[in-house]
Copies of this chain bind each other. A is one copy, B any other.
Amino acid sequence: MTRDPVSRAVLWKIDETGRRETADWVAVEEPLEIRVNGESLAVIMRTPGNDLELGAGFALTEGIVTTIDAIAGVTQCRDGEGAENNVVDIRLAGETTLDTARFRRNLMTSAACGLCGRASLEALAIQARPVASQTGIRRSVLQELPDRMLRAQASFGRTGALHASGLFDPAGELLVCREDVGRHNAVDKVIGRRSLDGAPFDTTILLVSGRTSFEILQKAAVAGIPIVCAISGPTTLAIETARAFNLTLVNFLRGRGMNIASVPARILDI
């Protein structure tokens, strides 16, 4: 069964002509549990569709099998309510066995049958609480943040391969900016710096240079950052996470425009 890799989300679109509520296309992001001979091995975040291919490709390129002939079959499990299509099982050929401990990763404690986006939010709820901060930022200040971060990025222009992450205060002052080949690392560096300084997050705004996937919102929720904005688009699960943890999520922050998918009240003058 092929599932649509995009979905509609209702959000606020802000541009020079004003603001309007609209439904926009968003990339779907959901967890996929990969099992080998029925044993849970890994949970990865992916866009649904072509999951059997993904399972086979993952098994090959991560070294779980060395040739495609070592795979007797890949099947999609539908054994839990709401879990349809979010589990693939790779059956190994013949007597092949696997040192599963070597490959196991990112298993959620609650990842039984029933794995879905909701399970990711429930796992996150163990770590994070909805953000209560009512900190706001003026729209005109928010629009300046991308340029301010770009000026602070020492290396990007030279390489075209680094992500940046910046933490700002409500006046638009850049508190810390870090670059990394990994989007999540750039966020971890920023959160780590601020935490080591013993400084609070409840009046900060996080800006990331790329997209916002679940992982970015997860990190912001754990740190307690009330406003997350990004130059590019969100995923479905990022929007759900922002809404569940009362985070403001701003995407496509470019020029005079932006999309707000969650808690618009913290963006003033819109």
A residues with a Cβ closer than 8 A to B are 5-6, 25-29, 44-47, 50, 52-58, 60-61, 63, 66, 68, 74, 102, 104-106, 109, 126-127, 154-155, 158-162, 178-182, 185, 187-193, 195-196, 198, 211-213, 218-219, 222-223, 232-235, 251-252
A111 to chain B, nearest CB (A): 12
Q: In the complex the two chains form, is B211's CB within 8 Å of A160's CB? A: yes
Contacts of A181 in B (CB 8 A): 27-29, 45-47, 211, 213, 235
Known contacts A27-B155, A61-B223: A162-B47 contact under CB 8 Å: yes
Q: In the complex the two chains form, is A198's CB within 8 Å of B68's CB? A: yes
Contacts of A66 in B (CB 8 A): 127
Contacts of A106 in B (CB 8 A): 105
- Distance, CA A233 to CA B45, complexed state (A): 24
State the oligomeric state as a number of copies: 2
The contact of A50 among B46, B155, B189, by CB within 8 Å, is B189
- Distance, CA A196 to CA B74, complexed state (A): 10
Q: Sort A-B residue pairs by CB-CB distance and give the 8 closest, nearest first.
A: A57-B192, A57-B188, A160-B233, A53-B192, A161-B233, A25-B158, A56-B192, A61-B219
Q: In the complex the two chains form, is B192's CB within 8 Å of A5's CB? A: no
Known contacts A47-B180, A66-B127, A181-B47: A6-B155 contact under CB 8 Å: yes
- Distance, CA A6 to CA B213, complexed state (A): 26
Contacts of A233 in B (CB 8 A): 159-161
- Distance, CA A58 to CA B190, complexed state (A): 10
- Distance, CA A195 to CA B178, complexed state (A): 39
Known contacts A46-B180, A61-B222: A195-B161 contact under CB 8 Å: no
Contacts of A154 in B (CB 8 A): 5
The contact of A182 among B46, B63, B109, by CB within 8 Å, is B46
A129 to chain B, nearest CB (A): 11
A215 to chain B, nearest CB (A): 9
Contacts of A27 in B (CB 8 A): 155, 159, 161-162, 181
A87 to chain B, nearest CB (A): 16
- Distance, CA A56 to CA B68, complexed state (A): 40
